[in-house]
Structure 1
Amino acid sequence: MAGDACILVTVLLTFATSVFGQETASSRCYYMTDAIPREPKPDDLPDLEWTGGWTDWPLIPAEPRDDVCINGWYPQLTSTSLGTIIIHMEEEIEGDVAIAKLNYDGSGTPEIVQPMVIGSFNLLSPEIRNENGAWYLYITNRQDYETPTMRRYTFDVRVPDETRAARVSLSIENIDDNDPIVRVLDACQVPELGEPRLTDCVYQVSDEDRA
């Protein structure tokens, strides 16, 4: 049993390294993950290309928006999983957000597998909704990057009559939404009507979004 557990851990670590290594090497969503301040979404962002159905590309882009980006689909076939789709979403989005569309046209109702692999279901509040005959994956809880438990989620989406689920890796990305903080380290006096000059006053300036 111990040997089997070691093999399983090795496989999982190898898969994670493979998936996230590919993302780092050629990130389609670099404009959302670069250090702040960032450039806006590029006009020439390459489109994702997919073919086939659920077993080929289980989740595909929903309506395009600047604050959500699908980096790519990384197939890794096992007895229970098709692979992983990596999605980036900005924090502090008001309202419900469709982050992907399910590439599924069956008559059954898809589900989000609980418990989640990483993260809290209640903090994320994901939902699958049917809109005009199409299924969409929504995030319904506003996210805050400054809350560490809201930075990354991993969960599986399953559809009826399919033995393999699709894994979703969702990264919540920081935005420049907090004012800098200025702290006075020592008592300091400056003459009200004095001439402009350098002083001995010492301040500490920090910015949570640019740390």
Structure 2
Amino acid sequence: MAASNREDHAQPPARKLRRAERREQIMDAATRAFARAGFAATSVDDIAAEAGVTRVLLYRHFDAKADLYRAVLDRACERLAERVGSDDFDEESIPALLRAAADDPDAFRLLFHHAAREPEFRDLIDTITDASTEIARKNLPASVADGPWADWVARLLPTFTIEAVIAWLDAGQPDPETAADRISRAVHGIMSAAHPGD
């Protein structure tokens, strides 16, 4: 009887994941761990514990913590580009950005909060910033005259929008049905401030 009870309560063996699935599991866990404390303050042991794997298994998929961090950032960029687009700005851009941030807040914070402060990975954020500035410049309304104020708007809009989304996440994602409109009104206010004579 005792042996029978032990058999009934025995845990089934853990399902062995395929290599690609295990890699994704580790990257998901690393995204959560890095988003809490950033690159420098997160250890390989922290990530392994978050993923429920050993360090040895983690190192079978990634040669070093920096390789894992770069892979997580690259994946976050790819997913964001798929959701938001990468070369245009229109009335759907801010709602798409909010949805992407709400669906994966850890990746969003990691990309735009932590990675921006990590010198070793700053090149990725600089590339995103440069591309976003060019997109903003290309899509400025005709009412913003070319010149230094157009440069000001083109540089400010991407930074403001990202910070507005992060602040919205940090505030608990209030009023998701109106959040995009509120951020859009603030964006239009910045553009209005650059109008000549205003």
TM-score range, shorter chain: under 0.3
| TM-score w.r.t. length of structure 1 | 0.23
| TM-score w.r.t. length of structure 2 | 0.25
Higher strand share: 1
Higher helix share: 2
